[in-house]
Structure 1
Amino acid sequence: MCQHQPTCPTAYSADREAAHVIVAHPDQGWSLLCNGVLLFEDTGLLLPDGRAVDPHRAPVAA
């Protein structure tokens, strides 16, 4: 999907969240990255094959 140079990381790379945002819906809490990953505001992910990745936001200090 990515047409950027250099190309963005794939959906299955460890750095997949570094891909460019191609559609942003902050009002709905998600963005579509050019590698096909849906990134949610809680840092959860939905990969192109339908697998979900749990949120990985750092815990907030009390």
Structure 2
Amino acid sequence: MCRHVPPCPAADSPDREASHVIAAHPDQGWSLLCNGIVLFDDTGLLLPDGTTVAPHRAPVAV
């Protein structure tokens, strides 16, 4: 999918969320990344193979 240089991290790499956003839908709470991942506002992920990753944002200190 990625056509720019340097290429974005693959969907299975640890830094996969560093990929470029190619379609943003903030009104719906998600963005499509260059590597095929759907990134949700709550930091959950939907990987290209259909696997999900639970939200993993850092806890907020009160």
Structure 1: gaps (5+ residues): none
Return the alpha-carbon distance in structure 2 between the equivalents of residues 44 and 14 of structure 1. Answer: 14
Q: Percentage identity across aligned positions?
A: 76
- Counterpart in the other structure of 2:19: 19
- Secondary structure at 2:36 match in 1: coil
Structure 2: gaps (5+ residues): none
TM-score by length of 2: 0.98
Return the alpha-carbon distance in structure 2 between the equivalents of residues 36 and 47 of structure 1. Answer: 7
Please give the residue correspondences for 1:26-37 in structure 2 after superposition, counting only pairs within 5 Å.
26-37=26-37
Runs of at least 4 residues off by over 4 Å: none
TM-score by length of 1: 0.98
